[in-house]
Amino acid sequence: MIIVTGAAGFIGSCMTGKLNNRGHKEIVLVDDFSRPDKEPNIARKIFTGKVERGVFFEWLDNHSKEVEFIVHLGARTDTTEFNMTVLEALNIDYSKKVWNACTRHGIPLLYASSAATYGDGSLGYDDTDPALSYRLEPLNPYGISKNEFDKWALQQEQAPPRWYGIKFFNVYGPNEYHKGRMASVVYHAFKQILDAGYWKSDKRFPSSGIQLPASSIQLPASRIQHPASVRLFRSHRPEYPDGGQLRDFIYVKEVTDVLYFFMQHAAESGIYNLGTGRARTFLDLVTAVFAALDLPPSIEFIDTPADIRDKYQYFTEARMDKLRKAGYVKPFRTLEEGITEYVQGYLAEGGYY
């Protein structure tokens, strides 16, 4: 049996789909299942049970001998959350309980960390030096909470038989409809284009009611009169042009491939980066969204909101040597390949993975 926490969320539901695709059906989903907007994420998944996160540890004590692996992806992921009490409860204390339960019962553990731990990137993105975690200065409480747990994990003398803390960089892909402001820029770019109201059909964009094309995502040239503009944050640093801010964007299916690799291979325990290893600009990203819709790019720039301006990362790029040395050799999709599949295969159809 495999446990996936945060299973109704973005990466958690995609990981459950990955496990199903690899033939795993003995899966127990753990989450707060009270949000109806997350239900479609798991509607077609195959699993043996659902456990509310508040009673999970009691359940685990009674079923530990059946559990082969725990994939702990549950967290408060809102980077604009400034209530540290909430983040401590969900991202630190709950994760400590998962760790201790895995240690007590001898269960391998994989947990979600974040590239937000690296702060402004001035200390680099090296996942091979455990001491770096103690020098990092994340830019927001979310990043602080993730880094605090990483540091705690590295200090433990008692640990699960195998454990992996995975620092996710900028993940995009299907099943993020429910994330609102925290959804990827790919999602928001697509939604802004659709908000222009060019397309008419009986299909609807989940949670928005926007009409989608019934048969093809190709928009006839005669309909392109005033292309919808996508809004990007203006640069507030002179060394970066508007839209030239760089991030390491990674498609969620690449993420689940790597997580599954760790489940199947006894790599060295520790913290690992998970990005593509190649930073791309937001202009590249939005241009790829327009190209996937066969539309000419139209972009306007707005000021970065004042409440996040001094906490905004201008450059992230994962160092991937450690993962490669651990034996993961599969190449990553390019940004254009990932966006094309996401837009045409999921967003344009209102589909779920």
- pLDDT tens, residue by residue, 184-225: 999 999 999 887 654 443 455 554 444 444 333 444 443 444
How many angstroms separate the CA atoms of 146 and 148, rounded?
5
Known catalytic residues are: 142, 179
How many angstroms separate the CA atoms of 92 and 113, rounded?
11
Q: Are residues 160 and 223 in the same domain?
A: no
Q: Are residues 99 and 204 in the same domain?
A: no
Going by pLDDT thresholds of 50, 70 and 90, the confidence category of residue 229 is: confident
Q: Are residues 168 and 197 in the same domain?
A: no
Q: Are residues 223 and 322 in the same domain?
A: no
Going by pLDDT thresholds of 50, 70 and 90, the confidence category of residue 309 is: confident
Q: Check residues 312 and 88 and name the one with the higher pLDDT.
A: 88
Q: Residue 271 belongs to what domain range? A: 2-173+250-277+314-332
Q: Are residues 226 and 258 in the same domain?
A: no
> Residue 333: is its pLDDT beyond 70?
yes
- On whether residue 132 sits in a domain, the answer given is yes
- On whether residue 154 sits in a domain, the answer given is yes
- pLDDT, mean of residues 116-133: 95
Q: Are residues 231 and 124 in the same domain?
A: no
3-state DSSP of the chain: CEEEECCCCHHHHHHHHHHHHCCCCCEEEEECCCCHHHHHHHCCCCCCEEEEHHHHHHHHHHHHHHCCEEEECCCCCCCCCCCHHHHHHHHHHHHHHHHHHHHHHCCCEEEEEEHHHHCCCCCCCCCCCHHHHHCCCCCCHHHHHHHHHHHHHHHCCCCCCCEEEEEECEEECCCCHHHHHHCCHHHHHHHHHHHCCCCCCCEECCCCCCEECCCCCCCCHHHCCCCCCEEEECCCCCCCCCCCCEECEEEHHHHHHHHHHHHHCCCCCEEEEECCCCCEEHHHHHHHHHHHCCCCCCEEEECCCHHHHCCCCCECCCCCHHHHHCCCCCCCCCHHHHHHHHHHHCHHHCCCC
The percent of residues above 70 in pLDDT, for the chain, comes to 90
Going by pLDDT thresholds of 50, 70 and 90, the confidence category of residue 77 is: confident
How many angstroms separate the CA atoms of 133 and 117, rounded?
8
44-70 residue pLDDT tens: 999 999 999 999 999 999 999 999 999
- On whether residue 8 sits in a domain, the answer given is yes
Which residues, in sequence order, are CB contacts of 248 under 8 Å at separation 6+?
115, 169, 170, 275, 276, 277, 278, 279, 280, 316, 317, 318
Q: Are strands 2-5 and 69-72 parallel, antiparallel or unpaired?
A: parallel
- On whether residue 352 sits in a domain, the answer given is no
169-183 residue pLDDT tens: 999 999 999 999 899
- On whether residue 350 sits in a domain, the answer given is no
The count of structural domains within the chain is 2
- On whether residue 348 sits in a domain, the answer given is no
Dihedral class, residue 243 (left if φ above 0, else alpha if ψ from -120 to 50, else beta): left
- pLDDT, mean of residues 243-262: 98
Q: Are residues 150 and 7 in the same domain?
A: yes
